[in-house]
A and B are shown apart, each in its own frame.
Chain A
Amino acid sequence: MLNELTKGIFRENPLLRLLLGTCPSLAVTSSLENGFGMGAATTFVLLCSNAMISLLKGIVPSKVRIPVFIVIIATFVTITDLSMSAYVPDLHKNLGLFIPLIVVNCIILGRAEAFASKNGIVPSLLDGLGMGIGFTMALSLIGSIREILGAGTLMGASLFGPSYQPFLMFVLPAGAFLTLGLTMGVMNWMEKRKA
């Protein structure tokens, strides 16, 4: 049972191992705060949709399961979008369009189709939580690397003093691709060494 929780964190990390959800990962990870916020929002949606889809697994006609899943996911995404706009407006503004786009994040539909629609509620919740934590950790890591190198700050606090000249490229799109690629490379190298 515990395996369902831990597999998403390292072994089947959705971003760094399964390569799902790369679009928002590249777009919003210009800082640790944005990366973590995006991860937390995705985790919430993943937990709710996994739970709901697992509960409905016996009664959804298989012909229309994808539309049903999408409606459920879109509902939770909109709830998240509205709540973030009401309670954390600054973060909501930074993440912008990428919150509504969680609907088409393949991690969510992927877990619904591959796991929650075939398993009970407890394993589905653990699966969603594990995948969410794994995704959040990956986004936070990439966000931290890009913020430290590209802006010389972490959580907005200056790290190296005013004389530091940041690598601007790392907060720009090219830096996102480089950081994601290098992080995945390190993950693969660690996996190889273990084997």
Chain B
Amino acid sequence: MKSAFEIMKIGAFLMAVCALASFGLALTNRATAPLISEQKRIAREMAMKEVLPGAVEFEDIELSDGRLAFNGKNSSGETIGMATIVSPKGYGGVIETMVGMDVDFKVTGIKILNMQETPGLGAKAGDPAFSGQFKGKTGEQLYLSDKDVKKGEIDAITASTITSKAVTDGVREAVEAMKNAE
């Protein structure tokens, strides 16, 4: 009988510790959840402003294939372009990239949101020297200049063809998706 009581006591103790811990976590979550979603929103809006220069207001749209995209409007309320997020597979995982384009589907800018590419090699995809090349390009120009069968106008990063190709293909995919959605 004593051991059954002992087990109950230990169980009750564990339960009390876990209940207290959950209470502490609930309080923390309540305090930080609005701040975290605000930070995420700010980060997303900064990225959208970067890929769509001139846009001040954004409106979420859902494409027919379920992809999320945004319309960007300038200060007088005209739609000047749109942006969407693609996740092509790079060398170290997916490269989450936001792609902005104007109403004629010319790329206005790209921003890499998340990647695990090799530092010093593939991670250079985030540098303006590579990502800046996309500005002003149309769908047909979005191929690598020397590695793709179909010659395009994007120069690959030295020793990082997989990353370069992934980003280029991703940007092209974004442009095609937006075109087809119209």
Contacts of B77 in A (CB 8 A): none
With A72-B21, A86-B35 known as contacts, the answer to whether A171 contacts B14 (CB < 8 A) is no
Judge whether A78 and B25 touch: CB under 8 Å. yes
Judge whether B35 and A78 touch: CB under 8 Å. no
| Chain A nearest Cβ from B157, distance in angstroms | 13
- At the interface, yes or no: A172 with Cβ under 8 Å from chain B? yes
Judge whether A168 and B121 touch: CB under 8 Å. yes
Q: How far is the CA of A61 from the CA of B33 in the complex (A)?
A: 35
Judge whether B32 and A68 touch: CB under 8 Å. no
Give A149-166 interface residues, CB cut-off 8 Å to B. 150-151, 166
Judge whether A30 and B119 touch: CB under 8 Å. yes
- At the interface, yes or no: A67 with Cβ under 8 Å from chain B? yes
Contacts of B118 in A (CB 8 A): 172
- At the interface, yes or no: B180 with Cβ under 8 Å from chain A? no
- At the interface, yes or no: B1 with Cβ under 8 Å from chain A? no
Chain A interface: which size bin? 20 to 34
Contacts of A93 in B (CB 8 A): 114
Give A64-83 interface residues, CB cut-off 8 Å to B. 64, 67-68, 71-72, 74-75, 78-79, 82-83
Q: How far is the CA of A79 from the CA of B22 in the complex (A)?
A: 11
Q: In the complex, what residue of chain A is closest to B7 when comparing beta carbons?
A: A63
B39's partner among A60, A86, A150 (CB-CB below 8 A) is A86
Give A16-70 interface residues, CB cut-off 8 Å to B. 30, 59-61, 63-64, 67-68
Contacts of B39 in A (CB 8 A): 85-86, 89
Judge whether A82 and B29 touch: CB under 8 Å. yes
Judge whether A61 and B9 touch: CB under 8 Å. yes
Extra contacts, 17 of them, besides A86-B32, A150-B119 (Cβ < 8 A), are A68-B14, A71-B14, A71-B21, A72-B17, A78-B25, A79-B25, A82-B29, A82-B32, A82-B33, A82-B36, A86-B35, A86-B39, A89-B43, A166-B120, A168-B121, A171-B119, A172-B118
